[in-house]
Each structure stands twice: as structure tokens, then as C-alpha cells.
């Protein structure tokens, strides 16, 4: 039996590589002779840099930058394709998981650090930059990124504004004269989000709460985003809110697409186009994928859906093993999964679930594979 294992990370718990290791161990406990090929996977969020680095045998590059709150940090990105392409993820620069929930202050968070990493890659000679937009802690509509690239923002009294979400509603004047030109750089924004910047299904109201915004702050930031979009349209004749995917990373997607000329691509589809996973799936017997939680949102460009599409192309059975199952997970059966499983086997605290997840993942794999192996041998 040949099994392909291609799972996303279980966010805040196990990396994609660690997930694959536990599943592989469970498979081999049932059938030691089973051929298992595992892949490190990322869809534009946490783990994207590592996924591209391993897929393309690239190298990690360390870089000094700043996090969402302007604190100095060491981050890294990957260089692939003989030094021509850089892969950056906002999750390891201005990422949500970098800060405990009780210390998140999205009003004062910004995307400046992303620009620092981009400029470092350009300085090193990269002509293509892939930016994974998932997992950001910010909701600043890219004002920080633009300032890092040379733009300056001022209030009604021509006073300089620091690039934070709290100042979006104060912007009245913008100086774009020193904005760095990126015409020679191919920019790709890797993301599965289709939301626009504004509105009930926009960046703030859909993703703001998980970043720490209160109900009152949601209204304030939405108003600020409206003003910022208006000011950008005044100066650049670009309607940021018209761009599908512009709501990614707290509006950062709109800046990449609208002002920097990036094209938006599905993170998982982009990664799969670089590796040999499709070739290996063609003659496999089973495909296993998964993520931290599978629910109705999984249908919209998440890792399991990307893997399923390849498996279906070659009529291969595909199962999903995830940390938890949320509302609407049953829809995954309708699109072609032959099995959708959670590793949770009893009630426990969130911390207990994190601690026991590796063991439970292996045990769940053993249980599933014992059934599959019985019928395979029959």
C-alpha cells in the first residue's frame, strides 16, 4: 500500500511536519511495510515558508524586523529557485499566534515589519516575492507596509501619523512621492480569503474579533478603513474595496493587489504547483490530509480541499484527520472525502487537548488504518 500524507499544521499545536510524523507512525504501527510519502504543507498562513523551503530544497534567511507592535524581532523567509524567489509569511512577522490573547491590541498593531522583510529580499536580488497572507494580527489596511515602502500619512493639521490601525480614520493627506517602485518585482499574494476590505463580510467584521477587537472597536476600525480607502481613491484612483481578497490580513491584501501590482493566488494551489505531490498521488492507494479544525470554511481553499482536488483528479480515496470538527464539517462528505475524523476522543480542557494532540493523532490514525488495512488485505 502506498499512502500520501499532506496535512496543514494544527495551529498552535503541531507543525505540518509534526502532524505528518505522527500519522506516519500510526500507519506503520498497523502495517510496517506500507510506503508512506509525507509532505510539509502550508496554504499561505503559518508554515508556508517551511513548506516552500522543503518542497523546493531552498534555504532559510534570517532577517531583523519588527512585529505587529513595533518590537524588534528576528524572523526568517525562504529563498528558492536559485535565489530568484523569496517566500515570506506574515504569520512569522506580524502573526496572531506570536502574541497571547490577553496581550493582543489590534488598534495599535501595524504591518510595517512585512515591508522590512520584502526590502531585505529585494536587496538580496530576488525578482519574485511570494507573500503568504494568512495568520496576521493586524487590521491596519496596509498603512504600515506602505510607510515602510516610503509613503507618509498626515492628519487634517498636516501632522505626521504613525502607521497603526487606530490612526486610519485620521488620515487626510498622503505623500506617495517616496514610495518604492516595485515594477521589476513579481509579487504573488498567497491566500484563500475572498473577503473584501469593508462591510459585514469584510476584513474587520469577519476577522477582527479573533484579533482582539471589541464590539466598539470593530465600529471604530471599520470607520477608519472606510476613510483610508476613500483617501487612497483620492490619491491613486483605486477602489481598494472593489478587490476580491482585499480583506486578507486586515486589508493588506488590497494594498498588495491594488497598489503594488500583486496577483492573488490560492496558497495551497500555488504550493502544489511547485512540488511532485500530484505525480506521487497518481499511483497511490490512499491520500490523508487534515488541519487543526475542519468545518464549513474548509471548503473555501483550505489545505484539505486543495489536496482533495488532486486526489479526485486521479480517482484516489482521500480522508481528512483533523484536530477538531466544527459546524458544517458534514459538507466535506458532499465534495468527495470518504472519511472525516477528529482526534478528540473525550471532553478536556484546551490546554490538555494541545498537550495530548500528538498521541491522540497517532492513536486515531491507528484506528482508521486498522479498518482500511483489513479491507485492503482482503
- The pLDDT, as a whole number, for residue 378 is 66
Query: Quick one: pLDDT at residue 375?
Result: 83
Query: Is residue 270 a part of any domain in this protein?
Result: no
Task: Examine the pLDDT at 64 and tell me if it is beyond 90.
Answer: yes
- Please give the average per-residue pLDDT across 300-327, as a whole number: 94
- Report how far apart, in Å, the C-alpha atoms of 228 and of each of 186, 196, 232 are: 26, 14, 6
Q: Which pLDDT does position 349 carry in this prediction?
A: 73
Residues 35 and 54 in one domain: no
User: The domain spanning residue 31 has which CATH number?
Assistant: 3.40.50.10350
What's the CATH number where 64 sits? 3.90.1510.10
For residues 14-33, average pLDDT:
95
Same domain for 137 and 249, yes or no, is yes
Tell whether 33 and 58 lie within a shared domain.
no
Query: Pairing state of beta strands 173-175 and 152-154?
Result: antiparallel
Asked if residue 74 and residue 19 are part of one domain, the reply reads no
| Domain boundary residue, one of 208, 239, 265 | 265
Instruction: Let me know if residue 85 belongs to a domain.
Output: yes
User: Does residue 171 sit in the same domain as residue 285?
Assistant: no
CA distances from 338 to 140, 317, 335 (A): 41, 6, 9
Give me Rg for the CA atoms of the chain.
21
The whole-number pLDDT of residue 174 equals 97
Together in a domain, 33 and 87 = no
Percentage with pLDDT > 70 across the chain: 99
Split at pLDDT 50, 70, 90, the class of 101 is confident
Confidence check: pLDDT of 72 > 80: yes
227 within a domain of the structure (yes/no): yes
Residues 6 or more apart in contact with residue 118 via CB below 8 angstroms? 86, 88, 129, 131, 149
User: E-strand spans in 134-246?
Assistant: 152-154, 173-175, 186-190
Task: Give this prediction's pTM.
Answer: 0.90
Q: Which of 265, 295, 329 is the last residue of a domain?
A: 265
Give 53's pLDDT tier (boundaries 50, 70, 90). Answer: very high
Mean pLDDT of 191-217: 93
Same domain, 373 and 282: yes
Q: Last residue of some domain: 211, 231, 265? A: 265
Q: At residue 239, does pLDDT exceed 70?
A: yes
Give the total number of structural domains in the chain.
2
For 149-182, the pLDDT digits (tens) are 999 999 999 999 999 999 999 999 999 999 998 9
**The domain containing residue 154 runs over which residues?**
48-265
- Together in a domain, 350 and 294: yes
Q: What is the mean pLDDT of the chain?
A: 94
Amino acid at each position: 500500500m502506498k499512502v500520501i500524507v499532506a496535512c496543514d499544521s494544527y495551529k498552535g499545536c503541531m507543525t505540518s511536519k509534526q502532524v505528518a510524523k505522527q500519522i506516519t507512525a500510526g500507519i506503520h504501527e498497523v502495517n510496517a511495510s506500507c510506503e508512506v510519502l509525507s509532505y510539509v504543507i502550508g496554504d499561505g498562513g503559518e508554515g508556508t515558508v517551511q513548506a516552500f523551503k522543503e518542497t523546493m530544497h531552498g534555504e532559510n534567511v534570517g532577517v531583523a524586523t519588527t512585529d505587529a507592535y513595533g518590537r524588534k524581532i528576528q524572523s526568517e523567509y525562504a529563498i528558492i529557485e536559485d535565489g530568484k524567489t523569496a517566500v515570506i509569511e506574515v504569520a512569522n512577522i506580524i502573526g496572531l499566534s506570536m502574541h497571547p490573547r490577553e496581550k493582543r491590541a489590534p488598534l495599535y498593531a501595524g504591518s510595517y515589519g512585512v515591508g522590512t522583510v520584502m526590502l531585505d529580499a529585494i536587496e538580496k536580488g530576488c525578482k519574485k516575492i511570494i507573500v503568504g497572507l494568512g495568520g496576521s494580527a493586524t487590521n491596519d489596511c496596509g498603512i504600515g507596509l506602505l510607510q515602510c515602502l516610503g509613503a507618509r500619512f498626515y492628519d487634517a493639521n498636516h501632522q505626521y501619523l504613525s502607521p497603526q490601525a487606530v490612526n486610519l480614520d485620521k488620515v487626510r493627506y498622503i505623500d506617495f512621492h517616496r514610495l518604492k517602485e516595485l515594477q521589476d518585482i513579481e509579487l504573488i499574494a498567497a491566500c484563500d480569503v475572498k473577503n473584501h476590505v469593508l462591510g459585514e463580510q469584510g476584513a474587520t467584521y469577519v476577522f477582527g474579533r479573533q484579533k482582539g477587537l471589541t464590539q466598539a472597536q470593530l465600529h471604530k476600525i471599520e470607520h477608519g478603513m472606510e476613510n483610508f480607502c476613500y483617501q487612497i481613491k483620492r490619491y491613486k484612483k483605486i477602489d481598494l474595496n472593489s478587490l476580491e481578497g482585499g480583506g486578507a490580513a486586515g486589508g493588506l491584501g488590497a494594498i498588495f493587489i491594488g497598489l503594488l501590482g500583486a496577483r492573488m493566488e490560492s496558497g495551497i494551489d500555488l504550493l502544489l504547483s511547485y512540488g511532485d505531490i500530484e505525480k506521487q498521488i497518481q499511483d497511490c492507494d490512499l491520500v490523508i490530509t487534515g488541519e487543526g479544525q475542519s468545518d464549513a470554511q474548509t471548503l473555501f481553499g483550505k489545505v484539505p480541499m486543495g489536496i482533495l482536488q488532486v486526489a479526485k483528479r486521479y480517482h484516489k480515496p482521500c480522508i481528512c484527520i483533523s484536530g477538531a470538527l466544527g459546524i458544517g464539517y458534514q459538507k466535506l462528505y458532499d465534495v468527495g472525502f470518504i472519511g472525516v475524523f477528529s482526534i478528540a476522543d473525550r471532553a478536556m480542557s484546551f490546554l490538555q487537548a494541545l498537550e495530548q494532540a500528538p498521541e491522540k493523532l497517532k492513536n486515531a490514525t491507528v484506528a482508521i488504518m486498522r479498518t482500511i488495512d483489513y479491507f485492503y488485505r482482503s
